[in-house]
Chains A and B, each alone.
Chain A
């Protein structure tokens, strides 16, 4: 029983226990935040059970499961950005510049689809690949700054978010604004560049399959291939990976490019599947990158775990709207619940992780 990395696989029973052990932290974190959130609802003079019931209905129920479709649709960018954060995190790198990479990817996707004469048949792939390259290059810029100028990656990635956001806002307000409409947005993208809707009544579209494929591919690469093994080794013990002959700098450049590429694709998927144009703030206001980062931390950077955690975070946000409608508790409660989960998770991992950065 060996897989391609040559490491013997554990018997099924052990793997099952490992899985339960891994899940224990996130589950406890979610339960803890539900309890604390419930206490706060109780203190504010409302019934927590009613509130959570409204939230559940808001997230999953509705006529023809329309709320579930909305939850899935929101999960697409969250899970995608979670994956963009998880790939470097698994290797011990913090890319907190996903937002900038996503924004530039989404914006360039819109521009390329609108202004370049691309045949319909290859439109979607060309636009997606371009968005991936733009996002990837922006992430490469961050690690190049680290490599050349010794700016810690954490800080380089974070600070690069702001110019990307401001730059796209500038362009979408000026050169590339659709002057027919009052909003700050580009022209609509041609029909060939749009993902098809999957339901009526929600914006859930075929773009979800792009994200699902990315999750499956990354899970396979990380757990079943030699580069994936090197990546995990770099995260577990950087020096060991170097002693093992891994060209760690090269590996880290590749990882950052892939991370940025995923973020760029996520931006493109939202632009081409939901708005059909680039709308100013549409990618940054919902904080997809940050909720995705939380999903990556919660799942300890495991691709399949990111999908689950991202889905849960999405359900909390979508459910928040239902809660606001039914109980008048502000839907920002869901942002707080997510923040609580991540804080509890920090407590849990604090018990388990050693201080790596010291």
Chain B
């Protein structure tokens, strides 16, 4: 037990936001989609695609920032396909979402050997990844230093994006229209709001955010691409959106909580618990928290089928 508390050190604090960020970014996309009335469960596939194209972009250009950009681009292209199927062709969101996730998995599984001649995992010394930023003064502080400083730019960008999203949704005319599209699409359309344009915008932005999430995962944390490396984080983001009721603050707190579970799982491995049990933690915690918070809310299927 002593070893456990000793291990709650700088590494643990530092890994919290590193792991929370992919979930937070994908969930931010989920918030926008939920607000315009699109139940986007393709976050997982978009994140995976972003992780792959980010690694590919960095490999071919030698610049991790080109990697981040190509991560966004790759995920956005997938988001565009998803948007056409769901918004223009009025496809069933769950079927199209599952298909998009399977497509992303198949596409990256195929491109890995086709482009890099490896299977399962791609690693190259040319991949340097994003550097961590040390914030002066703050970096030296105990607790806060390792928690907040020494992260990739994407981590700080995520915080900024959440603040911007909060302001945009609840303090601007744009946000009012956006929420109107989700809550009363007919009324919004009657008032001249272009409903489908808002929906396309939200889905495309969710693609870009998932691209950032994938980039944080591949070029931000580990500098490799591993087949199916999103490992359910896109689904956990979907859960975070539902739990936080598509409110940026609520979703942020939920997302950080999952980051906590993720980094805690790494710490517990350090003190000798079997990795299989610690890796279970994020998924079990997700189910448990979801259960505790949602137990008194409306039945999910009746809520979805109104």
Q: Give chain A's interface residues, CB within 8 Å of chain B.
A: 44, 94, 96, 145-146, 148-156, 158-160, 162-163, 166-167, 169-170, 173-174, 238, 290, 293-294, 297, 330, 332-333, 335-336, 338-340, 342-343, 345-347, 349-351, 353-358
B287 within 8 A of A: yes
B171 within 8 A of A: no
Q: How many A-B residue pairs have C-beta atoms within 8 angstroms? Tell me.
A: 162
Q: Is the CB of B89 within 8 A of A350?
A: yes
B61 within 8 A of A: no
Q: Is the CB of B98 within 8 A of A96?
A: yes
Q: Is the CB of A152 within 8 A of B301?
A: yes
B176 within 8 A of A: no
Query: Interface-forming stretch among B12-20, B105-113, B138-146?
Result: B105-113
Q: Is the CB of B113 within 8 A of A332?
A: yes
Chain A nearest Cβ from B115, distance in angstroms: 10
B235 neighbours in A (Cβ, 8 Å): 155, 158-159
Partner of A335 from the list B109, B274, B280, B298 (CB cut-off 8 Å) is B109
Q: For the complex, would chain B's binding face be called helix, strand, loop or mixed by DSSP majority?
A: helix
CB-defined A-B contacts under 8 Å, sample of 23: A94-B98, A150-B295, A150-B298, A151-B294, A151-B300, A154-B94, A155-B239, A163-B283, A166-B280, A167-B280, A297-B98, A332-B113, A335-B106, A335-B110, A342-B99, A346-B95, A346-B96, A346-B99, A347-B85, A347-B91, A355-B91, A356-B305, A358-B39
Q: Is the CB of B277 within 8 A of A145?
A: no
Q: Is the CB of B280 within 8 A of A162?
A: yes
A-B contacts besides A94-B98, A162-B283, A346-B100, 11 pairs, CB < 8 Å: A145-B287, A148-B295, A149-B291, A150-B294, A153-B301, A160-B287, A333-B110, A335-B105, A336-B109, A350-B90, A353-B92
A349 neighbours in B (Cβ, 8 Å): 91-92, 95
Chain A nearest Cβ from B203, distance in angstroms: 14
Q: Give chain B's interface residues, CB within 8 Å of chain A.
A: 37, 39, 41, 81, 85-86, 89-96, 98-100, 102-107, 109-110, 112-114, 119, 232, 235, 238-239, 242, 274, 276-277, 279-280, 283-284, 286-287, 290-292, 294-295, 297-301, 304-305
Q: Is the CB of B103 within 8 A of A343?
A: yes
Q: Is the CB of A357 within 8 A of B232?
A: no
Complex: A290 Cα to B93 Cα, angstroms = 18
Known contacts A332-B112, A357-B92; A149 and B283 CB within 8 A of each other: no
Known contacts A148-B291, A159-B287, A332-B110; A346 and B91 CB within 8 A of each other: yes
B104 neighbours in A (Cβ, 8 Å): 339
Q: Is the CB of B107 within 8 A of A355?
A: no
Q: Which A-chain residue is minimally distant from B290 (CB atoms)?
A: A151
Q: Is the CB of B110 within 8 A of A151?
A: no
Q: Is the CB of B91 within 8 A of A353?
A: yes
Q: Which B-chain residue is minimally distant from A293 (CB atoms)?
A: B98
Chain B nearest Cβ from A156, distance in angstroms: 7
Q: Which B-chain residue is minimally distant from A172 (CB atoms)?
A: B276
Complex: A357 Cα to B37 Cα, angstroms = 11
B304 neighbours in A (Cβ, 8 Å): 152, 357-358
Partner of B99 from the list A153, A155, A297, A358 (CB cut-off 8 Å) is A297
A151 neighbours in B (Cβ, 8 Å): 287, 290-291, 294, 300
Complex: A155 Cα to B236 Cα, angstroms = 9
Chain A nearest Cβ from B254, distance in angstroms: 13
Known contacts A159-B232, A343-B103, A357-B304; A149 and B91 CB within 8 A of each other: no
Q: Is the CB of A145 within 8 A of B305?
A: no
Known contacts A149-B290, A150-B300, A151-B300; A163 and B94 CB within 8 A of each other: no
Q: Which B-chain residue is minimally distant from A150 (CB atoms)?
A: B294
Partner of A357 from the list B39, B102, B280 (CB cut-off 8 Å) is B39
Chain B nearest Cβ from A117, distance in angstroms: 29
Complex: A325 Cα to B90 Cα, angstroms = 42
Partner of A350 from the list B92, B112, B292 (CB cut-off 8 Å) is B92
B98 neighbours in A (Cβ, 8 Å): 94, 96, 293, 297
B292 neighbours in A (Cβ, 8 Å): 149
Complex: A94 Cα to B94 Cα, angstroms = 9
Complex: A69 Cα to B21 Cα, angstroms = 47
Known contacts A146-B300, A150-B297, A169-B276; A339 and B283 CB within 8 A of each other: no
B102 neighbours in A (Cβ, 8 Å): 290, 293-294, 338-339, 342
Q: Is the CB of B106 within 8 A of A339?
A: yes
Complex: A346 Cα to B104 Cα, angstroms = 14
Q: Which A-chain residue is minimally distant from B278 (CB atoms)?
A: A166
A339 neighbours in B (Cβ, 8 Å): 102-107
Complex: A173 Cα to B279 Cα, angstroms = 15
